[in-house]
């Protein structure tokens, strides 16, 4: 199925738990895949109370919080729920990219850090 993607759309795999948000849409409509013979579809974000899976037993699926980009730089997605499939666009595997954004909490000082610094 060919989708015309827009920024902030939520996509999900009907076969596994993978979900992603569109960060940079491609200029042309294309087919996004995940599990074999499965196409990502527009979906709603999960409710806040649903537990988040951070990794898969196989360890091969998309990682939550990681950005994925097409090898030609046409598309960028942010994984918001881990699954077991491999993200693809027009049959090409998406690769994990460094977003340049430090992980949450990086560089923050805790109360204990401040107490130690004052000694």
Q: How far apart are CA 93 and CA 7, in angstroms?
A: 20
pLDDT in tens, 52-108: 655 555 557 888 889 999 988 889 999 988 888 899 999 899 999 976 665 554 555
Domain count of the fold of the chain:
1
Buried b (16+ CB within 10 A) or exposed e, 11-50: bbbeebbbbbbbeebbeeebebbbbeebbbeeeeeeeeee
Q: How far apart are CA 56 and CA 58, in angstroms?
A: 5
Residue 35 confidence (pLDDT): 86
Percent of the chain with pLDDT over 70: 73
Q: What is the pTM of this model?
A: 0.74
Domain with 106, as residue range(s), is 1-119
């Amino acid at each position: 199925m060919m989708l015309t993607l827009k920024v902030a759309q939520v996509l999900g795999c009907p076969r596994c738990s993978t979900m992603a948000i569109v960060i940079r849409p491609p200029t042309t409509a294309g087919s996004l895949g995940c599990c074999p013979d499965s196409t990502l579809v527009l979906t709603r974000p999960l409710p806040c109370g649903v537990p988040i899976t951070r990794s898969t037993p196989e360890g091969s699926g998309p990682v939550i919080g990681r950005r994925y980009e097409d090898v030609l730089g046409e598309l960028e997605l942010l994984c918001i729920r881990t699954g077991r499939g491999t993200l693809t666009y027009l049959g090409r595997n998406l690769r994990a990219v460094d977003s340049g954004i430090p992980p949450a909490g990086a560089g923050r000082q805790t109360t204990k850090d401040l107490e130690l610094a004052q000694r």
